[in-house]
Amino acid sequence: MADAATEARDERHVLAVVPPHVGGRAAGAGFAKLLPAPARVTVVESVDEDLQALRTARAVITALSPVTAEHLASAPELRLVQCASHGFDYVDVDAARSRGVPVCTIGSSGAEQQNVAEQTFALMLALAKQLVPAHTALVEADWALPRLKPSLTELSGKTLGIVGLGQIGQEVAFRGRAFAMDVVYAGRRRAAPEVEQRLGARRVPLDELLRTSDYVSLHAPLTEATRHLLSRERLALLKRTAFVVNTARGALIDQAALADALESGAVAGAGLDVFDPEPPPASLRLLRAPNVVLSPHVGGVTRETVVRISLAAARNVAGFLAGEPPQDVVN
């Protein structure tokens, strides 16, 4: 009977993977409390930390921690991979598909869209108003106004180019209109006419967006098709006065090419909340490039956002374990 009881518990076994750079074991323990009994949750900071738990897990919840083809092959009981994010690039989706394991995001919950949009504008405003060098100069008793004055600019009247007009991109567009910006967007699919009308957004080819925008903001998912979407060649299309903002995934940009563009003055500045890899190595040139504003992937981790993300992921996993169809399947 004990073996049967253990087997029944294992059918509800969930492996929660939260790496240290996004909160680690403490954050994972908080998340585990959201899953109702009879779920049995094992919290780890990487999948490789407890391979026995992986072998018996029915569901894996991962917060930006890789789930590889090798991990999937070592998990014969696995029936669901739940990403605690809108993105899913850190999971081998093809390998999961081949094993019949759905990979889910929290996309339809909208949990991250408010804060990512706010972070986008925080970076844009910091670049336009030169907040980082102004602050640093004042701390060092340097009244930098004469030096910074030629670089100060406004958002009003500028063209905001949004790459990817999904839920987050739409929130960014909405805020752009509030700043009296002209909003254009590029993406695989055209938004519904009512969405374009509500946001005052025009769809244009990507290269045209890059040539004409004063601010280019990335909100596309990372796939093989979008990796290095902003390549060296596409970065060369930007105006010298343009700013690049990335709150999506670091690998959407050729980081070496962006560093070259910033160092040569071919691009006015960049606001980056994401890097490839994360955390970035100390050798990453973008960390020392001129006129950059950097943040450590905070676009989805306000107090409010973490609660919404955790609840959305927990609901999907709990529903799946109770026999409901999974939501936001990407494969």
Residues 6+ apart with CB under 8 A from 89: 221, 222, 223, 249, 251
- Count structural domains, the chain: 2
C-alpha–C-alpha distance, residues 87 and 251, integer Å: 12
Same domain, 193 and 53: no
- Expressed as residue numbers, the domain containing 27 is 2-110+303-321
Same domain, 60 and 159: no
Has residue 23 been placed in a domain? yes
Give the active site residue among 13, 297, 303, 315: 297
Give the active site residue among 198, 249, 288, 304: 249
Has residue 168 been placed in a domain? yes
The residue written with tokens 């999961």 in the block is 96
Has residue 246 been placed in a domain? yes
Residues 79-116: b if buried by 16+ CB within 10 A, e if exposed: bbbbbbbbbbbbbbbebbeeeebbbbbbbebebbbbbb
Has residue 211 been placed in a domain? yes
Same domain, 106 and 117: no
Q: How far is CA 15 from CA 3, 31, 51, 144, 180, in A?
A: 20, 11, 10, 52, 46
Instruction: List the strands of the sheet with 59-62, edge to edge.
Output: 40-44, 13-17, 59-62, 80-83, 103-104
Give the active site residue among 11, 49, 118, 278: 278
pLDDT tens string 287-300 = 999 999 999 999 98
- Give residue 71's pLDDT: 98
Whether the Cβ atoms of residue 160 and residue 215 lie closer than 8 Å to each other: yes
Same domain, 270 and 163: yes
Has residue 326 been placed in a domain? no
The residue written with tokens 């009879």 in the block is 38
pLDDT tens string 121-140 = 999 999 999 999 999 999 99
Same domain, 157 and 271: yes
Same domain, 130 and 256: yes
- Give residue 11's pLDDT: 79
Same domain, 45 and 155: no
pLDDT (tens, 9 = 90+) of the chain, 331 residues, equals 334 444 444 679 999 999 998 889 999 999 899 998 889 999 999 999 999 999 999 999 999 999 999 999 999 999 999 999 989 999 999 999 999 999 999 999 989 999 999 999 999 999 999 999 999 999 999 999 999 999 999 999 999 999 999 999 999 999 999 999 999 999 999 999 999 999 999 999 999 999 999 999 999 999 999 999 999 999 999 999 999 999 999 999 999 999 999 999 999 999 999 999 999 999 999 999 999 999 999 998 888 998 999 999 999 999 999 999 999 999 9
Q: Is 253 helix (H, G, I), strand (E, B) or coil?
A: strand
- Give residue 2's pLDDT: 39
Same domain, 198 and 176: yes
- Give residue 292's pLDDT: 98
Whether the ω angle into residue 277 lies within 30 degrees of 0, i.e. cis, is yes
Same domain, 83 and 100: yes
pTM above 0.85, yes or no: yes
Same domain, 61 and 157: no
- CATH code, domain with 176: 3.40.50.720
Q: Which helix (H) or strand (E) holds 41?
A: strand 40-44
Has residue 62 been placed in a domain? yes
Same domain, 85 and 120: no
- Give residue 9's pLDDT: 45
Has residue 327 been placed in a domain? no
Same domain, 103 and 118: no
Enter the DSSP assignment of 67.
Answer: B
Has residue 329 been placed in a domain? no
Residue 249 annotated in active site: yes
- Give residue 38's pLDDT: 84
Q: How many other CB atoms are there within 10 angstroms of residue 139's CB atom?
A: 8
